[in-house]
């Protein structure tokens, strides 16, 4: 008989862990909602389908690695490249991302020739930072104090620019404010401020600018659907609409978890929940910490196709003020606005726009004026009111309530200090021997490819180290 594992939370991190564990464990997943994929959620508004959560898909190989032991991964998840994925609009200029270095230089030169000249050196450095981060952090799990104090980790950490901010790092290559703003935006992928977060996170730019941006026909929730199909084939039991309410401990071990339907014992437990919410479920005090940003979202169903890229960004004029205000717990008065328009890549879908404004990790922040900011963005994108069928706002409360997330903070602890960035909650509970953590609020952090990679690595180490296997 195989040993048993319970995964609490069916987000991407939980699914990757469950699938990898399924070769050695009998696995059950408990999920509070009726679907798997967590924040990667398909939402219907009339006939229009929207993809909540991850819209910018990068690093397909991290998803394929998880599926490879079970199916032909590239057939199961046929990611396609988006050639010109993201249009960034300033008041008086537009830059559209591409992995073609010469084309990026051509566009940047129209704003600032010096920045254009330095672009290849920037690409070389973010490539170095990515490979270093992959070796030192992404391929590694953190289970105990020893993992954090290894000499090799310290050496790699020091080589990863931990004490320079992302903005200062970019300033080295790009004297022009607008060009820095383009790449400073990558800090928002971890819900943090480019003026505080370590330059190490410039490696996020590597995903899009070197390896590229992708889409899947039908939308990102097809990733979760594919994982679900393979999990079922592996015999993993899926308990949907069944939140875990309680854990029962015996010394340094969790004996069982409890739902409304019953008690479930297992040899090991893996939490894919928000780390702090899980701590409160364990009866522990939730620590004080600076939290990452949340999101104010509007779903906009369109009558007819419009002229937009797959990803569109309208930059605010004062990025410094925008992040300062967010860190103070308020919405920026004139925020940058992101719009995802999947129809640009996949015309089999009805035209629909997913609009996102960065929100503070403060569920009580005033949302006055946000609807007008979205109206203004729609106008700048050339969308008229008569082209809109229906629109719906999903404020940070939606994230907090639907996925049980502290203050709606998408990535848990903010990465606005080097400590907050490199000392995230670990993957193994320090007191309970059979409890593990995966997902965007623990090491190595959030973003769909990263949580999948994290879950995969944690499961592999559990299989390697646990004696019951
Ligand atoms: C608006 C938005 C936009 C984003 N954009 C991008 C993007 O463009 N690109 C990108 O890569 N990433 C993006 N992300 C981030 C990405 O979605 C997340 O980092 C990733 O999906 C998190 O996966 P997870 O497994 O950590 O957690 P989750 O997806 O939150 O899964 C955790 C699961 O646990 C369940 N749960 C909670 N409590 C319990 C309980 N007591 N019992 C049982 N189940 C429970 C929840 O219901 C949830 O399903 C975005 C996120 C949001 C919200």
The predicted pLDDT at position 181 comes to 96
Mutate to test the pocket of ligand 1, among 43, 53, 275 (most ligand atoms within 8 A of CB): 53
Task: Report whether 399 contacts 39 (CB < 8 A).
Answer: yes
Q: Where are the domains of the chain?
A: 1-80+218-289+418-469, 101-211, 294-406
Mutate to test the pocket of ligand 1, among 11, 61, 396 (most ligand atoms within 8 A of CB): 11
Both tokens of 407, joined, read 């203050």
CATH level 2 (architecture), domain 294-406: 2-Layer Sandwich (3.30)
* pLDDT of 149: 85
pLDDT of residue 134: 96
- pLDDT, residue 157, reads 87
By alpha-carbon position, which residue is closest to atom 42 of ligand 1?
243
- Ligand 1: residues with CB < 6 A are 8-14, 30-33, 38-40, 53-56, 243-244, 272-273, 295, 297, 356, 399, 403-404, 410, 439-440, 446-448, 451
Nearest atom in ligand 1 to the alpha carbon of residue 455 is 25
Domain 1-80+218-289+418-469 fold: FAD/NAD(P)-binding domain (3.50.50)
Domains 1-80+218-289+418-469 and 294-406 share a fold: no
d(CA 38, ligand 1 centre) in Å: 5
| CB-neighbour burial class of residue 284 (10 A; exposed 0-12, middle 13-18, buried 19+) | exposed
CA 374 to CA 225: how far, in whole Å?
31
Which whole-number Å values give the CA distances from 369 to 183, 199, 365, 366, 411, in the listed order? 27, 33, 12, 9, 25
The dihedrals phi and psi of 347, each to the nearest 5 degrees, come to -80, 5
Q: What is the pLDDT of residue 35?
A: 98
- pLDDT, one tens digit per residue, over 133-192 is 999 999 999 999 899 888 888 898 888 899 999 999 999 999 999 999 999 999 999 999
Nearest-angstrom CA–CA distance, 267 and 278: 18
Q: Which residues of the chain have pLDDT under 70?
A: none
Q: Tell me, which fold does domain 101-211 have in CATH?
A: Guanine Nucleotide Dissociation Inhibitor; domain 1 (1.10.405)
Supply the pLDDT for residue 469.
Answer: 73
């Amino acid at each position: 008989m195989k040993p048993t594992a319970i995964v609490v939370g069916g987000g991407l991190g939980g699914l990757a862990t469950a699938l990898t564990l399924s070769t050695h464990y009998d696995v059950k997943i408990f999920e509070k909602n009726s679907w798997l994929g967590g924040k990667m959620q398909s939402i219907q508004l009339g006939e229009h389908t929207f993809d909540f959560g991850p819209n910018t898909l990068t690093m397909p190989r991290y998803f394929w690695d998880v599926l490879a032991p079970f199916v032909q991964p590239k057939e199961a998840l046929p990611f396609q490249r988006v050639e010109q994925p993201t249009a960034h609009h300033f008041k008086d200029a537009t830059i559209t991302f591409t992995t073609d270095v010469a084309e990026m230089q051509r566009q940047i030169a129209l704003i600032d020739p010096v920045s254009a000249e330095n672009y290849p050196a920037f690409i070389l450095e973010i490539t170095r930072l990515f490979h270093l981060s992959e070796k030192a952090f992404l391929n590694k799990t953190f289970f105990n104090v020893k993992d954090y104090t290894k000499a090799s980790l310290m050496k790699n950490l020091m080589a990863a620019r931990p004490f320079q901010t992302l903005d200062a790092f970019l300033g080295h290559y790009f004297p022009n404010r607008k060009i820095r703003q383009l790449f400073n935006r990558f800090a928002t992928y971890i819900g943090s401020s480019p003026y505080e977060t370590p330059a190490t996170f410039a490696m996020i730019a590597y995903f899009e600018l070197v390896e590229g941006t992708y889409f899947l026909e039908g939308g990102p929730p097809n990733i979760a659907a594919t994982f679900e199909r393979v999990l079922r084939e592996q015999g993993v039991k899926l308990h949907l609409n069944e939140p875990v309410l309680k854990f029962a401990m015996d010394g340094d071990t969790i004996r069982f978890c409890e739902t409304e339907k019953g008690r479930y014992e297992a040899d090991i437990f893996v939490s894919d929940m928000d780390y702090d919410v899980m701590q409160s479920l364990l009866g522990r005090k939730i620590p004080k910490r600076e939290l990452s940003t949340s999101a104010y979202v509007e779903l906009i169903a369109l009558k007819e196709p419009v002229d937009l890229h797959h990803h569109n960004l309208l930059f605010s004029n004062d990025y410094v003020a925008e992040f300062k205000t967010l860190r103070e717990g308020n919405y920026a008065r004139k925020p940058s606005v992101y719009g995802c328009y999947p129809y640009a890549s996949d015309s089999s879908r009805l035209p629909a726009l997913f609009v996102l404004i960065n929100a503070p990790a403060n569920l009580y922040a005033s949302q006055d004026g946000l609807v007008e900011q979205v109206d203004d963005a729609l106008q700048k994108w050339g969308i008229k009111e008569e082209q809109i069928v229906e629109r719906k706002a999903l404020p940070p409360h939606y994230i907090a309530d639907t996925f049980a997330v502290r203050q709606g903070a998408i990535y848990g602890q903010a990465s606005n200090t080097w400590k907050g960035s490199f000392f995230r909650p670990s993957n193994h509970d320090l007191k309970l021997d059979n409890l593990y953590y995966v997902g965007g609020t623990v090491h190595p952090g959030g973003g769909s490819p990263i949580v999948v990679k994290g879950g995969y690595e944690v499961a592999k180490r559990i299989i390697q180290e646990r004696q019951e296997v």
